[in-house]
Amino acid sequence: MAKNIKSRAEDYAQWYLDVIKAAQLADYSPVRGCMVIRPEGYAMWEAIQRDLDRRFKETGHVNAYFPLLIPQSFLTKEAQHIEGFAMECAVVTHSKLEKGKDGKLAPGGELEEPLIIRPTSETVIGHMYAQWIQSYRDLPVLINQWCNVMRWELRTRLFLRTAEFLWQEGHTAHETGEDAQSETMKMLEVYRSFAEDVLAIPVVKGRKTESEKFAGADTTYTIEGLMQDGKALQCGTSHNLGQNFAKAFDIKFLGRDQKIAHCHTTSWGVSTRMIGALIMAHSDDDGLVLPPRVAQNLVAIVPIYKTDEEKAKVAAFIDRTVKALVGEDEFAAASERNSRDEIRSYFFDKITHQRVVVDWRDARPGDKQFHWEQRGVPFRFEVGPRDVEQGALMVKRRLDRAKEVVKVDAISGEWLRGKLAEVQKLMFEKNLKYRHDNTHEAHSYDELKKLIAEKGGFVRCYFKQDKAAEAKIKEETKATVRCIPLDTDLKRGKCIYSGADDAQQVLFAVAY
């Protein structure tokens, strides 16, 4: 266990913050509840953004941008929406600062109508769609936006829940309810695939209960992950908004039958919370552990030497290794690019900007090894004079600290891709086993309470939707219905709380 990181067993919440600090991912800002995302953390967000953006475009979506400020009256048009977000809204009431009689700055220029800093963009986008859509020929509209939003959270935690955060929000308009439902489920599957294939986090696809769904939606679907402390994390949501927002914002079109009808709309999004999920799902007591597909640095090479003569031999050996990994052209270009850098970087993949780095800093080898371990780099190569003599190097895997001596002649870009794919697969399988081992079944309310209190994790049981019952269970156990799993949507049984026979199978868990 690293000295600067609390163990998970000792204090999980502090461990999480310590890992972020040790890996230099983010800091709290001077504004309460907001964060500064440092370069290491933002590189993770760029990897998430890059992969998801490709998936969105492959499914026919395009990017656009809408204003940060929303007229207050827009939110009041959709009654459920304002009820859901009113307590979290940041409100702009003045347009400037003025000097008072005491010489101090104070708000001036009171606005005729207050403006809301977007908590989400359904309202302003709905307003624009009403102007853009006239006929069924204009449909579907498939737009995504990458932006920031703000919600005043009472309890904040870096990446997981902050007042301001980054996300993407997709907003689509359709001719029929069937088209909107198809879009909702398509994007839920995009999120599922991304979470499992890229982040190596197994998730459960499901439908939210009425009390847990998005304000203003007909139906909300979710992907739910299980973190190492046995708590659930909502990793992404996809909403079928029906005609609710279309009616509130008059989004109408002339149909094929020459009649005017309201559009059916959807919205869906994931946020920087995904970085929090990555940290909590994979990292250990020594720091960050990253799936290769989101790691900025794939390999960190640590030279070990004492004399200038040893350094020269080690450097030549490392150059040979790097050339084998990235190719002659990239090696030459990178050598010119960062010849004076203490940490030299070489693009292993120019599309994803993932790199191989060589740590030539004037520091002890142990300190360098510690540095890269805390940052979750998937592989670390160590090269000393003895390795040069043997024509091999020590390869250490961050995931489980597995070690192997590899001949330099065996190293290539394809060899590394194979190693990275193996780690990606192992990380997913490890988390899948953890979820399986920590998913339980309850056949009574007492059993549910006992499992939540003593074991945590996901608890499957039959439960009939009831807002009052859900509130009471949350009060007594802190657990909520995370979702009605899609794979059990048609199953019925006896409700553990009310005894009703037509209850659906649900997943309960304590959640972030």
pLDDT tens across 306-325, in order? 999 999 999 999 999 999 99
CA separation (Å) from 243 to 43, 78, 133, 177, 266?
Answer: 38, 11, 14, 9, 9
pLDDT of residue 216: 86
Which of 131, 89, 97 shows the shortest CA–CA distance to 114?
89
Q: Is the pLDDT of residue 80 over 70?
A: no
Can you name the residues that pair with 303 across neighbouring β-strands? 383
Outline where DSSP puts E strands in 1-125: 26-28, 35-37, 62-63, 69-71, 90-99, 105-117
CA separation (Å) from 453 to 3, 153, 328?
Answer: 30, 26, 58
pTM beyond 0.85: the answer is yes
Q: How far apart are CA 75 and CA 73, in angstroms?
A: 5
pLDDT of residue 164: 95
Can you name the residues that pair with 170 across neighbouring β-strands? 144, 268
Give me the half-sphere count of Cα atoms (radius 13 Å) on the Cβ side of residue 82.
12
Which of 180, 167, 199 shows the shortest CA–CA distance to 246?
180
Q: How far apart are CA 502 and CA 112, in angstroms?
A: 53
Can you name the residues that pair with 380 across neighbouring β-strands? 300, 396
Q: How far apart are CA 54 and CA 64, in angstroms?
A: 15
Q: How far apart are CA 475 and CA 227, in angstroms?
A: 22
Q: Could you read off the pLDDT of 433-479 as tens digits, one per residue?
A: 999 999 999 999 999 999 999 999 999 999 999 999 999 999 999 99
Outline where DSSP puts E strands in 209-280: 219-226, 232-242, 252-254, 260-262, 264-271
Q: Dihedral (C-alpha) 269, 24, 279, 10: value to the nearest 10 degrees?
A: -140
Cα 85 → chain centroid: 22
Q: Is the pLDDT of residue 78 over 70?
A: no
Specify the DSSP element, H or E, that contains 8.
none
Q: Dihedral (C-alpha) 12, 16, 19, 25: value to the nearest 10 degrees?
A: 180
Can you name the residues that pair with 174 across neighbouring β-strands? 264
Under DSSP, the state recorded for 499 is: -
Q: How far apart are CA 140 and CA 344, in angstroms?
A: 48
User: Across all residues in the chain, what is the average pLDDT?
Assistant: 95
* pLDDT band (50, 70, 90) for residue 426: very high
Which of 404, 223, 384 shows the shortest CA–CA distance to 313?
384
Q: All domains of the chain, ordered by start, with CATH?
A: 12-282 (3.30.930.10), 295-419 (3.40.50.800), 439-510 (3.30.110.30)
pLDDT of residue 126: 95
Which of 96, 256, 103, 86 shows the shortest CA–CA distance to 176?
256
Exposed, middle or buried, 426 (CB in 10 Å: 0-12/13-18/19+)?
Answer: middle
Please, are residues 203 and 235 in contact by the beta-carbon 8 Å criterion? yes
* pLDDT band (50, 70, 90) for residue 153: confident
Which of 443, 467, 459 shows the shortest CA–CA distance to 506?
459
Q: Could you read off the pLDDT of 467-504 as tens digits, one per residue?
A: 999 999 999 999 999 999 998 867 899 999 999 998 99
CA separation (Å) from 486 to 130, 221, 415?
Answer: 33, 9, 39
pLDDT of residue 170: 98
**Which residue matches tokens 């579907």?**
140
Structure tokens at 270: 């994931």
Can you name the residues that pair with 98 across neighbouring β-strands? 106
Q: Dihedral (C-alpha) 395, 399, 401, 402: value to the nearest 10 degrees?
A: -60
Interacting residues of 182 by C-beta distance below 8 A, sequence separation 6+: none
Q: How far apart are CA 66 and CA 147, in angstroms?
A: 9
Structure tokens at 47: 């990897």
For strands 141-150 and 62-63, give the pairing.
parallel
Give me the half-sphere count of Cα atoms (radius 13 Å) on the Cβ side of residue 145.
19
DSSP 153-169: -SS-BTTTB-SEEEEEE
pLDDT of residue 340: 79
Q: Which residues of 115-130 are buried (b: 16+ CB within 10 A; e: fewer)?
A: bbbbbbbbbbbbbbbb
* pLDDT band (50, 70, 90) for residue 356: very high
* pLDDT band (50, 70, 90) for residue 157: very high
Q: Could you read off the pLDDT of 275-303 as tens digits, one per residue?
A: 999 999 999 999 999 999 999 999 999 99
Cα 17 → chain centroid: 16
Top mean-pLDDT range of 90-94, 195-199, 498-502: 195-199
